[in-house]
């Protein structure tokens, strides 16, 4: 069962989403994608500290390729 505090946080978050314009929602999506990509690359650089930037990028692309849904 969710904690009351989590429920309140979700309600605030969803209320903020409802108030956003479609353009704002799209821009927020781009921001979140960029943030997630940077976090992923940072994690890979910590996991493979001796890898070059090009090697990290290659690992990133290989792992992203494994994530795509091939059912469509």
The predicted pLDDT at position 72 comes to: 57
Give the predicted TM-score (pTM) of the model. Answer: 0.71
The predicted pLDDT at position 59 comes to: 97
Contact 51, 45 (CB under 8 A): yes
The predicted pLDDT at position 2 comes to: 63
* Residues of the chain under the 50 pLDDT cut: none
**pLDDT, tens digit (0-9, with 9 covering 90-100), for 31-43:** 999 999 999 999 9
Helix (H) or strand (E) holding 3: none
């Amino acid at each position: 069962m969710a904690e009351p505090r989590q429920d309140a946080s979700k309600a605030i978050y969803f209320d903020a989403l409802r108030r956003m314009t479609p353009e704002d929602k799209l821009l927020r999506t781009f921001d979140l994608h960029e943030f997630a990509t940077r976090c992923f690359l940072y994690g890979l650089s910590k996991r493979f500290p001796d890898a070059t930037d090009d090697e990290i990028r290659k690992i990133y692309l290989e792992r992203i390729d494994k994530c795509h849904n091939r059912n469509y």
